[in-house]
Amino acid sequence: MDIFEEINVKGFMEEAIDPTLDLFAEIEKLKKQKNAVILAHYYQDGDIQDIADYIGDSLGLSQQAAKTDADIIVFAGVHFMAETAKILSPGKKVLLPDVKAGCSLADSCPPHLFKKFKEQYPDHLVITYVNCTAELKALSDIVCTSSNAVQIVESLPKDQKIIFGPDKNLGAYVAKKTGRDLVLWNGACMVHEIFSREKITRLKERHQGVKLLAHPECEEVILEMADYIGSTTGILKYATNSPDKEFIVATESGILHQMQKENPDKTFIPAPPNNNCACNDCPHMKRNTLEKLYLCLKNELPEVTVPEHIIKDAVKPIERMLVISAQLGL
């Protein structure tokens, strides 16, 4: 972002909004006027999920970003997601309500260090979890998400040597599921590393028979206790299709909005963290608000761009993932 863009971004974020304005109606109006589409991740605020044209996990969001015919994509998510949308639809304007919505997992893998790491394993194929920067994707052979990581690894020959990054927890889970020996980058997500095994054990004792649904970004000690492990879409589908009435959910709290909406008769208990704060909220995801979404659509800022040479290299591993996913019916 250059200095002029920064000034624009700052100026627009400070713009006052008439408190009597019906933001839902205004956003709908702007969306039609500008032929824009709103793609939202399940970790967004309930209001944002409710106004989105599509809500989904990272795989679903990438698939939507690749096929939309809108002129503008408003990405209600974090920076790497908006970048992925831009890489898949370079001709479209991609907006992110708060340009500072980053990701601790993406930050845990600086591309220049990963490049050196990769050089130590010249005969390895690089699979990267989509939660990483565009620059990192450009250094990869195949991208994956939490809903297809196992299948992507399994689609490769058994003797294929693989580096998996940046999430060590997802990587360890995939290694265990596939029986492959993966070389892991030591990255992690701050939200999924916070859950307390002791507190979950006590909760399970108090609620006999309640199932633990966990995201594979959680640490192994949590995944060992889980009754179901999957992406946000997987967790939502599992809870909806299950005859059970009560669940403990070990992932970011935003998913509870859809879970509750689709299952008003069921109870969802957020998995307790190690300390007493509201740590299952992702501070990056939660930077986006309905107000910022409105201003972003109105001013068409902040815009997320990706340098052309990065798009050229990053699009191949993402498209490879989309092709394998389509072949597998994911």
Contact set with ligand 13P (CB under 6 A):
42, 57-58, 131, 145-146, 189, 215, 217, 231-232
Our finding on whether 105 is near ligand SF4 (CB under 6 A) is yes
The residue within the footprint of ligand SF4, chosen from 125, 183, 190, 269 (CB under 6 A), is 190
Strand-by-strand arrangement of the 142-144 sheet? 142-144, 125-129, 162-165, 183-184
> Nearer Cβ to ligand 13P, position 238 or 294?
238
> Nearer Cβ to ligand SF4, position 87 or 282?
282
Distances in Å between the Cα of 154 and the Cα atoms of 46, 121, 197 are 36, 20, 30
> Nearer Cβ to ligand 13P, position 89 or 148?
148
CB of 108 to ligand 13P, least distance (A): 13
Residue 175 near which of ligand SF4, ligand 13P, none (CB within 5-8 Å, type-dependent): none
Strand-by-strand arrangement of the 72-76 sheet? 54-56, 36-41, 72-76, 93-95
Q: Is 253 annotated as a binding residue?
A: no
Candidates 133-141, 187-195, 270-278, 296-304; binding stretch for ligand SF4 (CB under 6 A): 187-195
Q: Do strands 162-165 and 183-184 pair parallel, antiparallel, or not at all (unpaired)?
A: parallel
What is the spatial distance between Cα 40 and Cα 81, in angstroms, rounded to a whole number? 10
User: How many Å is the Cα radius of gyration of the chain?
Assistant: 20
Work out whether the CA dihedral 215, 221, 224, 225 comes out positive or negative: negative
The residue within the footprint of ligand SF4, chosen from 59, 103, 259, 271 (CB under 6 A), is 103
CB of 80 to ligand SF4, least distance (A): 8
> Nearer Cβ to ligand SF4, position 189 or 314?
189
CB of 112 to ligand SF4, least distance (A): 20
Q: Is 251 annotated as a binding residue?
A: no
What is the spatial distance between Cα 72 and Cα 49, in angstroms, rounded to a whole number? 18
Is there a contact between 39 and 66 (Cβ–Cβ < 8 Å)?
no
Q: How many residues of this chain interact with ligand SF4, rule: CB under 6 A?
A: 13
Question: What does 163-215 look like in DSSP terms, one character per residue?
Answer: EEESBHHHHHHHHHHHT---EE--B--TTTT-B-HHHHHHHHHHSTTPEEEE-
Residue 258 near which of ligand 13P, ligand SF4, none (CB within 5-8 Å, type-dependent): none
Residue 57 near which of ligand SF4, ligand 13P, none (CB within 5-8 Å, type-dependent): ligand 13P
Our finding on whether 108 is near ligand SF4 (CB under 6 A) is no
Q: Is 232 annotated as a binding residue?
A: yes
Question: What does 33-97 look like in DSSP terms, one character per residue?
Answer: HHTEEEEEETTS-HHHHHH-SEEE-HHHHHHHHHH---SEEEEES-HHHHHHHHHH-TTSEEE-S
Is there a contact between 131 and 187 (Cβ–Cβ < 8 Å)?
no
Residue 30 near which of ligand 13P, ligand SF4, none (CB within 5-8 Å, type-dependent): none
Is there a contact between 143 and 321 (Cβ–Cβ < 8 Å)?
yes
Residue 126 near which of ligand 13P, ligand SF4, none (CB within 5-8 Å, type-dependent): none
Feature table: binding site for [4Fe-4S] cluster: 103, 189, 282
Q: Which residues bind ligand SF4 (CB under 6 A)?
A: 43, 78, 103-105, 131, 189-191, 252, 282, 284-285
